[in-house]
Amino acid sequence: MMEEMLKDKVVAAYKKIQDEICQSLELADGNIKFEEELWTRAGGGGGRTRIFQHGNVIEKGGVNFSAVYGKLPDKIKEAFKVENDEFFACGVSIVIHPVNPFVPIIHMNIRYFEMDEQTRWFGGGIDLTPHYVIDTDVRYFHHILKNTCDEFDASFYPKFKKQADDYFFIKHREETRGVGGIFYDRLKPENTGLDWDQLFDFSLAVGNSFIPAYTELIDRNRDTAYSENELEWQSLRRSRYAEFNLVYDSGTKFGLETNGRIESILMSLPPMAKWVYNHKPAENSLEAISLSKLIKGIDWA
């Protein structure tokens, strides 16, 4: 596949995935339509920001597409260890914060990055952040991801699952952001044994796993009763999500360093969060049990 053809195919396919996910979320929520803002980046390129707010299921969420190009800042060049400063980056990024505390937060990102014929790769991942960890839901989620990975390489799921555990880790809290999923970066033929077409197909398969994974979890939990106590815990867990995204998330850092659109970059933050000094859940409570499962290395599949 020629270089320009790959870029064009990635852009068209990622836009299609954004469209399909937005349609499915509107259907799953039943009372929400996304707000779209088309934007351009001063340095080159632009995107489609689509925001969901005040729905039956979704309190706040975003399903964003971007395709940007231009010159990399020196700090990013140093991090990537490259000489060339011309880049192209395309991706779909999703974060959904639900109304009901028993419906989990979900994040997904698929992306393609290119500087030249030698310096290009696919990256991405999808992970789940429940306020309350429901084992059957987590196993279902990981089962879908494992099946998706196994279609391409049986080594992908265990490797990318470990990378998710390591990446989505809040070091200053010594806890994982949620129950993980898969995370991968810099996938190319040299380190996977797959050609560019197969890597492209894998990226699309990850993107297409979002709808069956999340709509099922919505259906399972959207009508679960909750009280002020559960809403308080939801606000506390949202604060941990915000801490990770502002301190550690590489996508947030890349967007800020390359003068990305700030509203699109920070759409991942929850609509409301709470920080309570030295909060500790009651022993044997659902909150304490959930907190005990925010660790690396659990074999959910």
Q: Which amino acid is at 289?
A: I
Angle formed at CA 17 by CA 35 and CA 31, multiple of 5 degrees: 40
Q: Locate 268 and state its tokens.
A: 């991942």
Find, among 126, 130, 112, 109, the residue nearest to 161 by Cα.
Answer: 126
Judge contact between 280 and 236, C-beta under 8 A: no
CA 47-50-51 angle, 5° bins: 140
Which of the residues are catalytic?
107
Could you please report the per-residue DSSP string of the chain? --HHHHHHHHHHHHHHHHHHHHHHHHHHHSS---EEEEEE-TTSEEEEEEEEES-SSEEEEEEEEEEEEEE--HHHHHHHT-S--EEEEEEEEEEEEESSTTSPEEEEEEEEEESSSSSEEEEEEEEEE-SS--HHHHHHHHHHHHHHHHTT-TTHHHHHHHHHHHHSEETTTTEESSSEEEEEEEE-HHHHS--HHHHHHHHHHHHHTHHHHHHHHHHHHTT----HHHHHHHHHHHHHHHHHHHHT-HHHHHHHHTT--HHHHGGGS-S-----TT--PPTTSHHHHHHHT-STT----
Q: Which pair of tokens denotes residue 57?
A: 């299921």
